[in-house]
A and B are shown apart, each in its own frame.
Chain A
């Protein structure tokens, strides 16, 4: 193949259906076979441990010590225990959703501003900013907790949502900014230029041209940030003290067996299953956006 120097990446095809996916007929069989094998491997790899989690969740409370691959006496006891009144798990799911959604929206908004500046505008300290942003993700997180706890205690923020939302935003901003900057840098920018020539302000050009174009990157980032906030435990365990603000991770840490040394393993696994469900729904809803975003933006127009 010759050196293809594209002046700009041309408006791409929906790669899901063309690109590497479509092939001349003679190699279809091999491609399909390889894909099928890959799919089987991936699904098995990802879901085998999860399957064991589900199986464990459906085993009864006094039936957990066995290696049966299918629960012999399936029971909902563990799920009942998860939602029993003393665990406040329903409230915790709501708290997690509030913390997760708020953190994601704010982190993405702030991150998009910064990434736009870094990818698009000319200013001197660009690499310094990128470096400093990255450096904030290098300090061991556990060492940040004590000073933050003291700060939030002084502010009277213990047991409030913002005591988790603000750290979550800060801890996900480096990833957000780096992903988005890398994406924004790859955009076909002449379209924005064209919009500006047509009289759009930089703001309008950003909103109407760049945002739809950046959709796969933005949605991918959104999912990563949301999962981070949804799974965050270290900060939540310290900042949330009661069911007023406890997200699911902190609530789960309060699951107990019937006595001090008994591990509530079945209940924990049931809770793990319950808390993956919203994420699975989320991905099912957004998975088209993760891949089809580029065409949805109407670049070709």
Chain B
């Protein structure tokens, strides 16, 4: 990503910025920035950078039983997109997007509601804040087993609702099972981020609005939402990255049956199951590239003001 991808810098300079420029501290700031970012760079390069580069390299070789085979260029990529692997790749691509679209929408709606409630003053809000965190706090490996158990044909979900749905064994119910479990677990993540975002909205903005006679809904859409945009953006962005890589829930709930096999499951199948590192790495890279495009488009479309550095905020009418 280059600077063109984040059109967030506002032309208006803050007095602070002008002050600093006048002070002529640009070069020393740049040096300080380098030192401050260096530890991050060391961690990310060694733990993520090294394996990613290795995967990129491996993806250019054919797989042989004994290990890496001859150089094949983009052969593994062609295999996934148009060749033997395309019958697995495209359905996985579609269902991954279906999960992402539906889950993130629900998570945002429910998370927003949770955050707004938690932000209010009422008795026992400690209880609410704690219970909201419970789903997020239990490891996915455990929640997946819990949901699998609950969604058995003679499990508690069918017992309580009086249904006879074969949740993990039919087309759409199995997709809903995954979406419900994912939404339940991660709506609190969004809620926490939005709650923190709400904290930073100055109270007197609401005061002024109330004096102007704005309704609760107007205050929400005209103050809360615009001011919460950076927090929403970060929360949704990281949920996008996560759901696009979803693995453990479908792996445990359906094992990919009934068209629920996601891109990450394909990667695991190739890398851990078949030990085909070349093809598996190509699949990882394709997943990575797709997520990159989605994130890029998302940041671009929403005019991501994540780093609206030091600019005064304008509350639009």
Contact = CB atoms under 8 A, between A and B. Distances in A.
Asked if the two chains touch in their complex, CB atoms less than 8 Å apart, one says yes
A169 B306 CA distance: 22
A200 interface: no
B74 interface: no
A208 interface: no
Instruction: State the majority secondary structure of interface residues on A.
Output: helix
Interface string A161-177: 00000110111011101
B230 A2 contact: no
A1 B317 contact: yes
Contact of A265 (B145, B156, B184, B247): B145
A132 B37 contact: no
Given A6-B313, A21-B119, A271-B142, A111 B40 contact: yes
Interface in B186-204: 188-189, 192-193, 195-196, 198-204
Contact of B200 (A39, A127, A183, A272): A183
Interface residues of B, number: 136
B33 interface: yes
Contact of A43 (B127, B198, B203): B127
Contacts of A183: 196, 200
Nearest to B31: A123
B37 A223 contact: no
Interface residues of A, number: 127
A146 B271 contact: yes
Contact of A113 (B36, B55, B198, B241): B36
Interface of A: 1-22, 24, 27, 31-32, 35-36, 38-39, 41-43, 45-47, 49-50, 52-53, 56, 67, 110-111, 113-114, 116-124, 126-144, 146-148, 151, 166-167, 169-171, 173-175, 177-179, 181-183, 185-186, 189-190, 193, 202, 216-217, 220, 223-224, 227, 230-231, 233, 248-249, 252-253, 265, 268-269, 271-272, 275-276, 279-280, 283-284, 287, 290-291, 293-294
Given A190-B15, A220-B195, A283-B130, 7 more contacts: A6-B202, A43-B127, A56-B146, A67-B160, A140-B287, A220-B192, A291-B118
Interface of B: 1-3, 5-6, 14-17, 19-20, 26, 29-30, 32-34, 36-37, 39-40, 43-44, 46-52, 54-55, 110, 113-114, 116-122, 124-143, 145-147, 149-150, 154-156, 159-160, 184, 188-189, 192-193, 195-196, 198-210, 212, 214, 216, 218-219, 222-224, 230-231, 233-234, 237-238, 241, 245, 247-248, 263-264, 267-268, 271-272, 277, 280-281, 284, 287-288, 291-292, 295, 306-310, 312-317
